[in-house]
Amino acid sequence: MQRSGRDCGEMQRLDADGTGARQAASFKAFLQKSSSRSDRNLYDHLVLLLAKIMDERPDDAVDVLEDMSLELKRASFKDTQRSLRDHVTPSVGERLAEQQLLLFKHAQDFNHEDPTVETGFPNVNESAFYLEQAGVGLGREEMQRILLALKLLVESHGLPQCRLWGKILGTESSYIIAEAEYTEGDEEQSTDEDLQEEEEEESGTQENETDPVPRSTYLHPPMVPKEALGTGANRFFYFVCNEPGLPWVKLPSVSPAQITAARHICKGFTGRLDSPVLSYPPFPGKEANYLRAQIARISAGTQVSPSGFYQTVEEEGEEEEEMAHDQCLVNPEFEGVSSLEMAQSLSSWVHHIQHILKQGRCTWVNTAMKVEEDSIEEEEAAEKDEQADEPEPEYGPPLLTNLSQDAEMFHTPPWSLRLSSTITPQHAVAVLRSNLWPGAFAYSNGKRFENIYVGWGLKYTGQGYSPCVPPPPQKEYPSGPEVTEMLDPSVEEEEEMRMALEEQQEVQQELEEDEEDEN
Amino acid sequence: MDFNSLPYSLEFVAGSGCILTLEERTALQTSLVIVKKNYKFQRILFWGKILGLQHDYFVAQGRGEDEMTDRKSLYSLNCVDWLLLPSVTDAMVEEVSKAAQGRFKGNPSFVYEHKVSQQEGKEQEKVARNVTEEKRLAVTVHHIDEEASVVPRGAFIQSLRGLVQTNRSFGGLSESEARRLENFMHFRKPKTLQKKPIPVKAEWAPAIDFLDVLSEDIPKGSWSLQFECARRVCVLRSLLWLGLTFYHVPMTPQHGYIYMGLGMKNLDLPFML
């Protein structure tokens, strides 16, 4: 405890009064102890505060005491010079700001560009204006940043066209997703996943010749082949980034196995593309693949347009089978439907993305033919194939079916349709909200329409998601008479057997004797 | 979020996707002033929006002297006419949890029917427990406030008499404090506070640390803390009630939370994490 010179003197004088005075003095010393952070001490501060109150005589002094105290502290400038210099590390916000500055700089570099040339990136601000009327959006400034980021994307990757698909929220970070059409020049790097699977199969069939170990007769279900780039679920490819300004990452194309697995799990996104997806049934891939699969499902389920905007490609000749139309083109004769009409019935909206079949693809592929090539136990496999039934082809609703034919799930209609404003219906837009994928919105205003998804990337599960049950355990060995348990024969049965055997032996002996006699 | 900060704070929570249209915002600016005058609230907050199949519900909350106990919720279908929600009792909570299923329909007088067979003596009767959507809305708002409301530490103080009020000297959390979930608290009667060991309680300031802390929520990971809007704003999103967004601008007293969602608890949370 520090004691100033004054105090010691006071203490000596008041010693005669006893311990009370000593306590008062020690408390006063405590009050005069300077703080470790600033050069103040409580005693001086209280003195100044009371002097201020005496001078100013404020109303309700007791209620504003704390505020006055704070003001006093702020007013007195104390230089806090320390011998150590602060090491300034750039905060996350500052680093991002530097990256986002590039968004604005690029605009100046390309000043000499001809502004009348059609650029591939969409007018996000215009869409944002209409989407705001529909009640969905990301805030005007964020949309502006996204617009600039899309411009960067189009320029850096040379894309002819791209579209803002939407935003998927994650626990650590979110994804902003842009959709681009597939052009013929793009090649995908062959993934090593297929090769690895083949290697595993080969290593598993090394036999022990001395002691034949029972071999598993489990056959991996045949892998459904991926759809070619530019068709079906892989018609578009997608770029994602965490924040506008950060570099765009291209997502890999999706395989049917990933789509079927994604249908059975309910997992959130973390925001890091390389984080594993731990789930049952196990998801074949990382978060980037899971994200791509969910994007494919959401697109197939919720991308809609006014009826008549797109028309199917008319094919002449091959009308023997029902050809699922792959593509649809923009109808040049589309005149636009008023938003009042669009808001009245669901049949004025159609899906313009192909439905994904149960198999995980948009066009059905018969996998039974390919089993012989892949598996190694050829003879057994061939036999089993002949016995098994041919898988039935799957059909989905054709392209451009209208929404009134969408099935209801969990007692909720799949879509909610309304006008954006009831007070001014003359200038309102028709707003369509999906109930199956909460977060999917579409609006239509005469000739313009737009789809967007902002949400967590999960389907509406009604009462709650319940994971699928693991398959029953396989039989270790086929059941046959040599391994099945049988009851031991009772004494009577044994007697009967013995009697029957004896009789047989007697009959045989007689026969043999007869033969000998004859010979 | 506070009605006075509505114009700029909606930009901070827009990252979750749901925003209010211009028409709704302007209607709110006018109607909430009238509501505040009529009900004599000290403060009025725009609580959020619950999306129904046919119509959406807009919910506002008025606060009186004591922020914790003096709360009244109102709802509207068009942001202009506001109706008071019934106050929630335990019996109402039980009724709603049994009867109400599925999405909100959008019609406050819609009745959810739930037949319960009661055995009285030897007779079995089927008694219908009916619950209106209005009651379901009130109970949902109550649940969300109980389980997912967020305030930063220091934003509210509790006086010695137990009165909870806004702290006018709240300067905001610093950037490093805003990264830690321990500095955010639920705005409800504390449930886990008393169970803390005494050495932990000794560090607390009794005026500010009187609420449950978010990091104690089960399951861990049900809150997503991010810095949005060019990393300036700390945004907390609840995974238990998908749609609840809390924002706080560090080093300023600006904070608030809003709920824009389906009004259904996320029962799939354990699978999602």
Which of A20-29, A182-191, B154-163, B211-220 has the weakest average pLDDT? A182-191
Query: Which residues have CB under 8 Å from B59's CB, separation 6+?
Result: B47, B48, B49, B50, B73, B74, B75, B76, B85, B137, B141, B259
- The whole-angstrom separation of Cα A276 and Cα B89 is 44
For residues A415 and B54, is the Cβ–Cβ distance under 8 A?
A: no
Whether chain B has a CB inside 8 Å of the CB on A363: the answer is no
Which residues on A lie below 8 Å from B78 (Cβ)? 422
How distant is the Cα of A127 from the closest Cα of chain B, in angstroms?
A: 14
How many C-beta neighbours within 10 Å does residue A438 have? 21
How many degrees, rounded to 5, is the angle at CA A380 between CA A374 and CA A384? 90
**Count of CB contacts below 8 A, A vs B?**
120
Please indicate, yes or no, if residue B81 is contained in any of the structural domains: yes
User: In this predicted structure, what is the pLDDT of residue A364?
Assistant: 78
Whether the model clears a pTM of 0.80, i.e. scores above it, the answer is no
Instruction: Confirm or reject contact between A66 and chain B (CB < 8 A).
Output: yes
Confidence of residue A137 (pLDDT cuts 50, 70, 90): confident
Q: Confirm if A336 and A241 have CB atoms less than 8 A apart.
A: no
pLDDT of residue A83: 64
Q: How much is the pLDDT for A184?
A: 63
User: Is A268 within 8 Å of B239 when comparing Cβ atoms?
Assistant: yes
Give the integer Cα–Cα distance in Å for A236 and A352: 13
Give the long-range contacts of residues A315-318, CB within 8 A, separation 24 or more.
Answer: none
Q: How far apart are CA A175 and CA A346, in angstroms?
A: 30
Question: Do the Cβ atoms of B211 and B186 come closer than 8 Å?
Answer: yes
Per-residue pLDDT of A60-83, as tens digits, reads 888 888 888 888 888 776 556 666
State whether residue A468 sits within 8 Å of chain B by CB: no
Cross-chain residue pair A93–B239, CB shorter than 8 Å: no
Contact criterion met (CB below 8 Å) for A418 and B52: no
User: What is the reported pLDDT for A315?
Assistant: 57
Asked if the Cβ–Cβ distance from A139 to B230 is below 8 Å, we say no
CA–CA distance, A290 with A217 (Å, rounded to integer) = 31
Closest partner residue to B18 (CB to CB) among A135, A142, A265 is: A135
Give the total number of structural domains in chain B: 1
Q: Please name the residue ranges forming H helices in B120-247.
A: 133-148, 175-178, 198-202
CB contact under 8 A, B19 and A467: no
How many whole angstroms separate alpha carbon A335 and alpha carbon B155? Answer: 56
pLDDT at A196: 43
The pLDDT assigned to A187 comes to: 57
B117 domain residue, yes or no: no
Closest C-alpha among B173, B156, B168, B155 to residue B249: B173
**Ramachandran angles phi, psi of A496, nearest 5°:** -60, -45
Which residues of chain B are within 8 Å of residue A413 when distances are taken between CB atoms? 53
CB B31 within 8 A of CB B80: yes
Contacts of B101 in chain A (CB under 8 A): 463
- Interface contact B7, partner A, CB < 8 A: no
Task: Give domain status of residue B192, yes or no.
Answer: yes
Instruction: Please check whether residue A161 is in contact with residue A180, taking contact to mean a CB–CB distance below 8 angstroms.
Output: yes
Using the Cβ of B208 and the Cβ atoms of chain A, whether some distance falls under 8 Å is answered with: no
**Whole domain around residue B263: which residue ranges?**
3-90+139-271
> Does the pLDDT of residue A340 top 90, yes or no?
no
**Cα(A430)–Cα(A443) distance, integer angstroms:** 6
> Does residue A197 surpass a pLDDT of 50?
no
A435: number of Cβ within 10 Å? 20
How far apart (Å, rounded) are the C-alpha atoms in residues B171 and A156?
A: 44
Residue numbers in A near B58 (CB within 8 A)? none
Confidence of residue A418 (pLDDT cuts 50, 70, 90): confident
Mean pLDDT value of segment A275-300: 90
* Mean per-residue pLDDT of chain A: 77
Pairing between strand B43-51 and B255-261?
parallel
The dihedral over CA atoms of B208, B209, B210, B214, expressed in degrees to the nearest 10, equals: 120
A445–chain B nearest CA distance, Å: 16
Minimum-distance CB partner of A266 among B14, B78, B268: B268
Average pLDDT over residues A415-441: 87
Is residue A97 scored above 90 in pLDDT? no
Give me A251's structure tokens. 């997502």
Could you tell me which chain B residue has the CA closest to the CA of A409? B102
CB-based contact A363:A324 (threshold 8 Å): yes
Residue B184, in any domain of the structure: yes
Indicate if the pLDDT at residue A202 is higher than 90. Answer: no
Burial classification of residue B12, based on how many CB atoms lie within 10 Å of its CB (0-12 exposed, 13-18 middle, 19 or more buried) = buried
Is residue B155 within 8 Å of residue B253, measured between CB atoms? yes
Is the model's pLDDT at A412 over the cut of 80? yes
Q: For position A78, what pLDDT does the model report?
A: 58
Q: Torsion-angle region of residue A359: left (phi > 0), alpha (psi -120 to 50) or beta?
A: alpha
Which pLDDT tens digit goes with each residue over A431-460?
Answer: 999 998 998 999 888 788 889 999 999 988
Q: What percent of chain A has pLDDT over 90?
A: 11
Cα separation, A448 vs A161, whole angstroms: 17
Å between B232 CA and nearest CA of chain A: 7
Q: Which chain B residues touch A141 with a CB distance below 8 Å?
A: 11, 229
- Which A residues in the span 264-303 are in contact with B, Cβ-Cβ below 8 Å? 265-268, 279
Closest chain B residue to the Cα of A424, Cα to Cα? B23
Q: A462, B102: Cβ pair inside 8 Å?
A: yes
Per DSSP, which regions of A73-135 are E strands? none
Chain B closest-CA separation from residue A245 CA (Å): 10
Rounded to whole angstroms, the Cα distance separating A272 from A171 reads: 10
Which of B9, B11, B13, B16 would you mutate first to test chain A, the one with the most A CBs within 10 A? B16
As a whole number of angstroms, the distance between CA A154 and CA A161 comes to: 7
Task: Determine, yes or no, domain membership for B133.
Answer: no
Q: Is the dihedral of CA B157, B158, B164, B168 positive or negative?
A: negative
Mind telling me how many Å the CA of A85 is from chain B's nearest CA? 20
Q: What CA–CA distance (Å, rounded) separates A68 from B169?
A: 11
**A343 neighbors A417 (Cβ within 8 angstroms):** yes
Q: Which of A471, A473, A440, A469 is nearest to A454 (CA)?
A: A440
How many whole angstroms separate alpha carbon B223 and alpha carbon B37? 36
Per-residue confidence (pLDDT) for residue A452, from 0 to 100? 92
Cis peptide before B219 (omega within 30 of 0): yes
**What own/partner pairs with CB < 8 Å and gap ≥ 24 does A153-159 have?**
A153/A121, A153/A178, A153/A239, A153/A248, A154/A119, A154/A120, A154/A121, A155/A106, A155/A110, A156/A248, A157/A239, A157/A248, A159/A120, A159/A183
Which residues of B are less than 8 Å from A243 in CB distance? 230
- How large is the average pLDDT for residues A318-329? 53
| Shortest Cα distance, chain B CAs vs residue A411, angstroms | 8
Question: What residue has token string 């009792």?
Answer: B89
Cα B261 from Cα A148, distance rounded (Å): 29
Q: Which of B17, B101, B237 sits opposite A167 (nearest CB)?
A: B17
Using CA coordinates, name the residue in chain A closest to B168.
A67
Q: Is pLDDT at A426 greater than 80 in this prediction?
A: yes
Q: Is A202 helix (H, G, I), strand (E, B) or coil?
A: helix
* Chain A residues whose beta carbon lies within 8 Å of the beta carbon of residue B230: 93, 96-97, 100, 145, 243
Closest Cα in chain B, distance from residue A252 (Å) = 23
B221 touches A: beta carbon within 8 Å = yes
**pLDDT number for residue A316:** 52
Dist. CA A467–CA A359, nearest whole Å:
19
**Which token pair is A50?**
């009371």
For A93, the closest of B17, B231, B237 (CB atoms) is B231
A255 vs A229: CA distance, rounded Å: 11
Residue A25 has pLDDT above 60, yes or no: yes
Given a cut of 60, is residue A369 above it in pLDDT? no
Q: Is residue B132 domain-resident?
A: no
Residue listed under structure tokens 């043999």: A512
A197 interfacial to chain B (CB closer than 8 Å)? no
A36 CA: distance to closest CA in chain B (Å)? 19
- Name the 3-class secondary structure at B202: helix
Residue B116 lies in a domain: no
pLDDT along chain B (273 residues), means of 10: 87 86 90 93 92 92 88 91 92 87 86 74 66 91 92 89 86 88 90 78 79 85 85 89 92 92 88 84
Top residue of A145, A454, A459, A466 to mutate, by most chain B CBs within 10 Å, is A454
Euclidean distance between CA atoms B86 and B101, whole angstroms: 20
What letters, b where the CB count within 10 A reaches 16 and e where it falls short, cover A284-305?
Answer: bbebbbbbbbbbbbbbbbbbbb
Give B-chain residues touching A410 at CB under 8 angstroms. 102
Interface of A with B in 114-173 (CB under 8 A): 132-142, 145, 167, 169-173
Most distant CA pair in chain B: distance in Å?
A: 69
Between CA B164 and CA B67 the distance in angstroms is 6
Does the residue B174 lie in any domain?
yes
The residue among A503 and A118 whose pLDDT is bigger is A503
**Residue A158: its pLDDT value, please?**
81
**Cα B117 from Cα A193, distance rounded (Å):** 57
Separation of alpha carbons A10 and B35, rounded Å:
64
* A416: contact with B, CB 8 A cutoff: yes
Contact B106, B49 (CB under 8 A): no
Our CA-based measurement puts residue B70 at a distance from the nearest CA of chain A, in whole angstroms, of 22
Give chain A positions within 8 Å (CB) of B54.
416, 418
